[in-house]
Amino acid sequence: MLVSALVLGALAVALAWPVPVLLAAARWPARSPGVALALWQGIALAGGVSMIGALLCYGLSPFGTGVADGVRALTAAILAGTLGAGVSFAHVLALCGALLLGTHLLLNLAATFLRAERQRRRHLHLISLLSDPLPDRPGMRVIDYEAPVAYCLPGAARSATVLSKGLLRLLSADQLRGVIEHEQAHLRQQHHLVLLAFKSWHSALPWFPIANRAEHAVALLVEMLADDRARRVVDDRTLATAIALVGLGQQADLPAASPDTASGEVWMSSPEHALVAPRVHRLMTAAVPLSRVAAVAAIATAITLALAPAVVLLRA
C-alpha cells in the first residue's frame, strides 16, 4: 500500500507540473488538436485520481493490504469506535484529505455544469425575445445589431446559433458558411462539456499553477477543432479572412461596452489569452497533421494515463 501511495504520489506530481507544462509549450497540438485534446483529458483525469488515490493509499495503509480490504477494516474500526494501534494522525489527515478533495472536485463539477445550464437557459429566453429565427435554418437566429457577432449556445436540449445583422452584412456567402460550420461543430461535438470540465478543475484548484494554462490550452484546441470542420466546406484563406473581419469588427464595438462589464475590466485580453492569432497562423501556414503513428501513440498514452491510477489502486 505504501508503495502504491508513493507511485500514485509521484504520478500526481508529474501530472501536476512537468507534463502539462511540456504539453502546453509543445508545437504539435496545433497540427492535430483532437489528439492533443485527448491527451489533456487523460492528464487531467489521471492527475485527479492519482492525487486522491495517493492520499487514500497512505491513509489506509495501517488498515490492511489492498484498498477494498483497508476500507472494510476502516469501516469496522469506525463502527467499533476506536482506530487501533499503528494509526497515526498523519494517516487520519490523509484519509480526510482524500475524502474532502474528492468531494470538492465532484461538487465543483456539478455546480459548474448547473450554473452554465442556468445561464444558458436565461440567455436562450432573451434571444427568443430579441431575435428572429432564420427562415430555412432551424436553430439559427438573427439579432438586429451593428457589430459582427456570432456565437452558439450549446446544450443537451435546445441549442441555438446567434448571428448579428452586422455579421450577415459584413461577410461574403462563403465566409458566412465557414462561420456557421464552425459554430455547428461546437454544437455537434459538444465541446462545451470538455470546456466546462476544465473550467471546473481550474476553479476547484485555483492555486494549481497549471490549471489556468490547461484551461486556455483546451479552449484554443477546441476552436482549432471547430476550424478544422469549417475547413471542409470553405478554403483556409476564406476562413482566416472571416476570422480577421469578425475579430476586428468586434474590437471596434467594444470600447462602448466596457462601462457595462462587471468589474470594469478593459476589453483587451492579455497575451497569454491569445486565442485568435494561433488560429489564423495555423490556417495561413497549412500545417501538416501528425503522422498516423504519432497520433496513435499519443492517444494510446492518453488512455494509459487515464487508466493507470485506477489499475494501481486496484492492485495496491
- Is the Cβ of residue 254 or residue 300 nearer to another protein in the bound state? 254
**Candidate residues 65, 88, 103, 258; the one interacting with another protein per rule CB under 8 A:** 258
Phi and psi at residue 151, in whole multiples of 5°? -155, 165
What is the x/- site pattern for another protein, positions 95-134, by CB under 8 A?
Answer: -----------------x--xx--xx--x-xxx-xx----
Q: Does 33 bind another protein (CB under 8 A)?
A: no
* Distance, CA of 120 to CA of 131 (rounded, Å): 16
Phi and psi at residue 136, in whole multiples of 5°? -105, 25
Number of residues that bind another protein (CB under 8 A): 66
**Candidate residues 73, 142, 143, 310; the one interacting with another protein per rule CB under 8 A:** 143
Three-point CA angle 73, 46, 65, nearest 5°: 20
Q: Does 137 bind another protein (CB under 8 A)?
A: no
Q: Does 205 bind another protein (CB under 8 A)?
A: no
- Is the Cβ of residue 106 or residue 284 nearer to another protein in the bound state? 284
Q: Does 156 bind another protein (CB under 8 A)?
A: no
Q: Does 152 bind another protein (CB under 8 A)?
A: yes
Q: Does 2 bind another protein (CB under 8 A)?
A: no
Q: Does 172 bind another protein (CB under 8 A)?
A: no
Minimum CB–partner distance for residue 145 and another protein (Å): 5
Q: Does 154 bind another protein (CB under 8 A)?
A: yes
Minimum CB–partner distance for residue 140 and another protein (Å): 13
Interhelix angle for 191-204 vs 209-230, to 10°?
170
* Distance, CA of 96 to CA of 241 (rounded, Å): 54
Minimum CB–partner distance for residue 6 and another protein (Å): 36
**Candidate residues 268, 300, 303, 314; the one interacting with another protein per rule CB under 8 A:** 268
Burial classification of residue 243, based on how many CB atoms lie within 10 Å of its CB (0-12 exposed, 13-18 middle, 19 or more buried): buried
Three-point CA angle 304, 307, 313, nearest 5°: 130
Q: Does 151 bind another protein (CB under 8 A)?
A: yes
- Is the Cβ of residue 91 or residue 192 nearer to another protein in the bound state? 192
Q: Does 184 bind another protein (CB under 8 A)?
A: no
**Candidate residues 150, 211, 305, 308; the one interacting with another protein per rule CB under 8 A:** 150
Q: Does 214 bind another protein (CB under 8 A)?
A: no
Q: Does 190 bind another protein (CB under 8 A)?
A: no
- Is the Cβ of residue 18 or residue 144 nearer to another protein in the bound state? 144
Q: Which residues bind another protein (CB under 8 A)?
A: 112, 115-116, 119-120, 123, 125-127, 129-130, 143-145, 147, 149-154, 164, 179, 182-183, 186, 191-192, 195-196, 199, 215-216, 219, 237, 240-241, 243-248, 250-251, 253-254, 256-258, 260-262, 265, 267-271, 273-277, 280, 284
